[in-house]
Chain A
Amino acid sequence: MGKKINIRKLSFSYKRKSLQLDHINLSIKSGEVIVLTGPSGSGKSSLTRVINGLIPYFFNGELVGEVTIGEQNFDQMKSWERGQLVGNVFQDPRSQFFSNEVAGEIAFGCENYGYSHEEIRDRVHRAADSLKISNILERSLHELSYGMRQKVAIASAKALEPEIYVMDEPSANLDMESTYCFSEVIEELKRRGKTIIIAEHRLYYLEEIADRFICIENGAIKHEFSQEQMKELKDRDILQMGLRHSNLRRFTFHTLKSHKNAEVALEVKALSKAYDKLQVIREMNFSCNRGEVIALIGPNGTGKSTLGKVFAGLVKEDQGSISIFGKECKAKKRLGQVWYIPQDLDSQLFGEDLVDELITGRKNAEEQKEKAVRILKELELHDYAKQHPATLSGGQKQRLALGVALMYEAPIIILDEPTSGLDGANMRNVSRVIRALAGKGHTIIVITHDAECALSCCERAIRIEKGIITDDFQITDSEYFLARIGYP
């Protein structure tokens, strides 16, 4: 019989800040799968951090209330005792890896708990077998796709055989196929009677697995839905709560009004790129017009980001030609004309505040301030103008990155996974900004696994697999798009 988690009158605030968790009362039965959802910054991650003990041990602040697991009070446990009871999977497996090869990573926890060499090997092989990754134990983690890395992260948690799993946005970087592989893993853990708590924005892969969906807003539990109740939620309710859809077929699709005109913005002929012996882009041909918004879809590791970087001139093509507005351009000439916004925006922030971020490196910076302020207003960021860019939320950072592209008047913008890790409201907000920019004549390519984002802002989709375009179609109905992105 597993242990029940009881959270009573739990409140938490980081030092001198408003309440992150406000009088949370929650009881989780052993073997339950609980999904914590709600807007970004609502307190989901804070609640998972209380359950895995990182609050207040690592993230200091004022914590009141009580958390018990079985009969044990969490306060009285040491950090390593909690680690044996609660396994963790985070959003980005890259930053939780301590090893450079799979076996060493899975073994990391076992090594810390003083198991013998033989016991460690046995646990590593058992965990790898159960996730069907025994064949990659000696491979480097850098070579693996996001989906495989997430499996390694789960195996690493599983090797310690915890009773409880806490996962913080585990699907944020996964493509549809990897997401469903991941959902099978969760189902298997559930069958084995494990308790699973997942903080997540993307709900579609959990609709048939989760026992309860708990919506958190401003640190408090605002709604609680059973699996059946979640299925019956209307589109209007989902929008109102700022959530994402738990079933993508219930997404209300509207064909988008195209802003495309006859001018060809980007034309690619016989484009190829290889890294060592790996052919990432093969003889690719396509073109897009001014004002078009295109979704670039396809599995993880299939060459989408490389293609985006080649377009932007960050990576040189091996063969083929790229023309911008009818003029063939070498890589150096494309820099600045095709603006690439990567998924990880923290390494892109150079300014001290938002205005500074937009004018940094510009000539006549003082004269550019007026333009910067206007752009911030357009992107609804002016209220945060004095803040440091790193303190913005994910959605705000994404809009700021678009603002920088506008400042430089880049006619073609490529966004790499712009809505990864964003809640429903922020995802829709970013999608709206993308449509508005298309209306102003920008050509936008959105590299995405996010079906809701693509259906909200893209009028055309190009599917890539193994460096080849496998489909190129206008998005006129959601069914066909969902089938092509791999939604079952």
Chain B
Amino acid sequence: MKRNLNRIDGRTVLFLTVAACLVSFLSTNFFAHALYTIGFVILLCYYGIMGKAIGTFAVYILALLGLIFGTRYNIKFPSPLLFSMVYKLVLPMLPIYLLNQIPAGKLTASIRKLPISKKVMLVLIVMLRFAPTVVQEFRNVSEAMRVRGFLSGAVKVLRHPLNTLEYAVVPMVFRALTIADELSVSAIVRGIESPCKKESYHKSKIGIRDTILMIACTAAGIVCSIV
């Protein structure tokens, strides 16, 4: 499975992510949307991310059922809007799992080959590097909040939403500043500012497999969006 993942180019996964986002928000047909999602679930299983793919698909089914029954029987709680949001967000989540599995070095090498400006490229690279760290830091902050009883019950959180937000945001901001400094330092001392042309440890090349995947994804996406 890992071997399969090594054969896919980072640009292909970025393309799949954009395609999934577009189809999810343009498609109005439940059936077509579900088929496109199933296609991604199969793709993830092929790349060895079966557990997450099936779990996420289960959430998708629940959201879809919630949406159908909620609108048909005029159920107000939980809100159909909530189900609709989950339903729309599941599909883009699937290629993001794939993106997460690709070595960061390989992804960076792929991004460097994209026809985009250097500034946008840098933002993309830093975002991809920073996202897992922020998630980890958020986990640490939420643990501290639980120890102090800031998250001791839904009622408390709902009664003081601004306080809860403040407790979460203040340490996150401090940590983010520190981490940003540490990362910048680490990059500078390893020559990030060197102006020379850069090559990579990972070879970045779009192969036949990538081309087929992108064409299939585009064709299916167009069909799903117009039916």
Which residues on A are within 8 Å of B, measured CB to CB? 52-54, 57-58, 78-80, 82-84, 86, 88, 90, 92, 95-101, 103-105, 107-117, 120-121, 124, 138, 142, 156-157, 160, 309, 312-314, 335-336, 339-340, 342, 344, 346-350, 360-361, 390, 404, 408
Contact = CB atoms under 8 A, between A and B. Distances in A.
B147 A58 contact: no
Nearest to A332: B152
Shortest 10 CB-CB contacts between residues of A and residues of B: A104-B105, A114-B196, A107-B201, A96-B186, A80-B194, A109-B190, A112-B191, A95-B182, A80-B191, A347-B140
Interface of B: 2, 103-106, 108, 129, 132-133, 137, 140-141, 143-144, 146-150, 152, 163, 167, 170-172, 174-175, 178-179, 182-194, 196-203
11 contacts: A79-B188, A86-B189, A95-B133, A95-B182, A98-B183, A104-B104, A109-B191, A347-B137, A347-B141, A348-B141, A408-B148
A104 B178 CA distance: 23
A112 B194 contact: yes
Most buried by A among B141, B143, B184, B194: B194
Most buried by B among A79, A111, A342: A111
Contacts of B106: 104
B193 A79 contact: yes
Most buried by A among B2, B152, B182, B191: B191
Contacts of B2: 138
A344 to B, nearest CB: 6
Contacts of A98: 104, 129, 183, 186-187
A98 B182 CA distance: 11
A196 to B, nearest CB: 15
B167 A96 contact: no
A361 B198 CA distance: 51
A111 B197 CA distance: 9
A117 B200 contact: yes
B189 A83 contact: yes
Nearest to B184: A58
Contacts of B197: 114
A100 B108 CA distance: 11
A38 to B, nearest CB: 22
Contact of A339 (B147, B183, B191, B202): B147
A160 B190 contact: yes
Taking chain B's interface residues, is the majority helix, strand, or loop, or is none over half, making it mixed? helix
Contacts of A107: 105, 200-201
Contacts of A335: 146-147, 149, 152
Nearest to A390: B174
A79 B184 CA distance: 12
Nearest to A140: B103
A84 B188 CA distance: 11
B121 to A, nearest CB: 14
A96 B201 contact: no
Nearest to A341: B147
A346 B174 CA distance: 7
Contacts of B105: 99, 101, 103-105, 107-108, 111
A138 B201 CA distance: 12
B140 A112 contact: no
A350 B168 CA distance: 8
Contacts of B200: 107, 111, 117, 120
Contact of A111 (B133, B179, B183, B199): B199
Given A90-B185, A347-B174, A361-B167, 14 more contacts: A80-B194, A83-B189, A84-B191, A95-B178, A95-B183, A96-B186, A99-B108, A107-B105, A107-B200, A108-B190, A121-B201, A124-B201, A340-B143, A348-B144
B149 A100 contact: no
A348 B171 CA distance: 7
B199 A57 contact: no
A192 to B, nearest CB: 20
Contacts of B147: 312, 314, 335-336, 339-340
B149 A361 contact: yes
A113 B103 CA distance: 20
A404 B190 contact: no
B199 A52 contact: no
A199 to B, nearest CB: 14
Contact of B199 (A103, A104, A108, A120): A120
A360 B182 CA distance: 29
A53 to B, nearest CB: 8
A108 B187 CA distance: 9
A80 B111 CA distance: 22
Contact of A78 (B146, B193, B199): B193
Contacts of A121: 201
A81 to B, nearest CB: 9
B191 A120 contact: no
A347 B171 contact: yes
B132 A100 contact: yes
Contact of A349 (B174, B179, B201): B174
